[in-house]
Structure 1
């Protein structure tokens, strides 16, 4: 689906900034922060400030086009709200984040919808632990 159509389908005005931000999120494939988007824009000589990126990300998240996941480090990561979205496992020692390819929540969502009558439009989920490298250092 084209980005213009994706925005219209979600009843949101098509703007140049929204299109290039959404394009960057789709292109990245993994969850991405506003700061990472800004860095990519700088490399590509796209002139946009961080507050504009945040404002548009929040708008896209409000209409459920994006999922926002705030990591334990306080950084929010955004991704397209689709069935192939991804979650993190973050190391509480070094702060590295790793992508979990499959969403373990979809079956639980169906149960919750059946139980409550809600139509679930998204969820936020994060695992934390200690990565293998930190385990070697901490548990010698």
Structure 2
């Protein structure tokens, strides 16, 4: 599941950020290229993340309640830096009630399915809306 999350992040980063920067760099006149790149950053990492936070927060508010219930069942003492560092390499699993873990695992699929479907929709829109027609026409006439 972690690897699928990494793959989803890579696809989203490539489609939305890198390709957007390349497209903007190609289309914007040299005099305003820096401003166009800054505007793209503002929309993707400012406005876009704000709406993503609002949508995900509204959809997954109940997940936090499950997380709080799970954290409440795990009694962990406070450790110093070196104790905490040493415990990172232990393989002990905390114990929790089966119902809480089952609820958390049921939400896990929904939690990742929603952004995956959003990424798929945007990728399809991107594939149909942002192909460079001018360069293809030039290539076919040569």
TM-score normalised by L of structure 2: 0.21
Larger Rg: 2
Larger % of helix: which? 2
Larger % of strand: which? 1
More relative contact order in 1 or in 2 (CA 8 Å, sep 6+)? Answer: 2
